[in-house]
Amino acid sequence: MNILGFCVGGTLLGCAAAVMSARSDNRLASVTLLTTMLDFSDVGEIGIMVDENYVRTREATIGQGGILPGKELAFVFATLRANDLIWSYVVNNYLRGATPDAFDLLYWNSDSVNLPGPMYCWYIRHAYLENAIKDPGRTKQCGVPVDLSAIKVSVYLLAAREDHIVPWKTAYLASNLLGGEVQFVLGASGHIAGVINPASRGKRNYWVNPKLGVEPEDWLAEAQEIPGSWWPDWDRWLKERSTGTTAAPTKLGNKTYQPIEPAPGRSVKIRTA
């Protein structure tokens, strides 16, 4: 499998890949991590919101069950860019009465997802508060000690230069933790627009430099700037690790797993309070 994780999904994927390595499970052909932190040494401005008292309060309220509402997490991220994501709408839409422009990325971003309370509490303690995931064997997941250096498959690591959620210099630190070949790429723009940058539009740019193990600033100073989307670079990278193409199935499901209902499915239509 060539498998991909985005943001916290990338952190979970890194942990899962380490668990698979500990179990001698070799089904991964490559791993792609998009705007992902594995080393939480510098989490940026969001760090001022996470301390021992906050984590203990969350553990007492939702740590044994319940959920963290997705809208609450989305509001926290919006406050990190309040001028762009909060006050501009207060001024233009509420005070001036203007109709907001259609913005596909923000519309997609507003589709927030609830998180399981116990998972969220474990994550903010072991990642943001204690930065334990990066240390070999310091956390035990799925019954095995997690060691990121045991991940020997090739990893494509993408960061975004203006990311306010995953600082790119912190994302870069993951290149020192993984045991296989790492391709680090720095894209322009922010956490979402820097990733969702279709190649067909030819917008923005990205930086590449095969020399890792140096400080982030030194890496960028010697990096080559390439115009356009990073997608073609990733496409090339994936093809080099692919065993070829497979014809799409003509029928969905199998004897064990039958199709439930037409896409997108009922779950995406459920409205949360």
Instruction: Give the dihedral sign, CA 95/49/122/150.
Output: positive
For residue 106, pLDDT beyond 80: no
Q: How many CA atoms lie within 13 A of 67 on its CB side?
A: 11
Of 11-20, 92-101, 252-261, where does the model show the most confidence?
11-20
Q: What is the pTM assigned to this prediction? A: 0.87
pLDDT-derived band at 201, boundaries 50, 70, 90: confident
- Interval 131-177: pLDDT, tens: 999 999 999 999 999 999 999 999 999 999 999 999 999 999 999 99
Least confident of 88-97, 128-137, 184-193: 88-97
Q: What integer is the mean pLDDT of 80-106?
A: 82
Cis peptide before 198 (omega within 30 of 0): no
Q: Are 182 and 152 in contact (CB under 8 A)?
A: no
Tell me how far apart the alpha carbons of residues 160 and 166 are, in angstroms, rounded to a whole number: 8
7 assigned to active site: yes
pLDDT of residue 155: 98
Tell me how far apart the alpha carbons of residues 34 and 194 are, in angstroms, rounded to a whole number: 10
Which one from 7, 15, 121, 142 is the annotated catalytic residue? 7
Give the three-state DSSP class for 63: coil
Percent of the chain with pLDDT over 90: 69
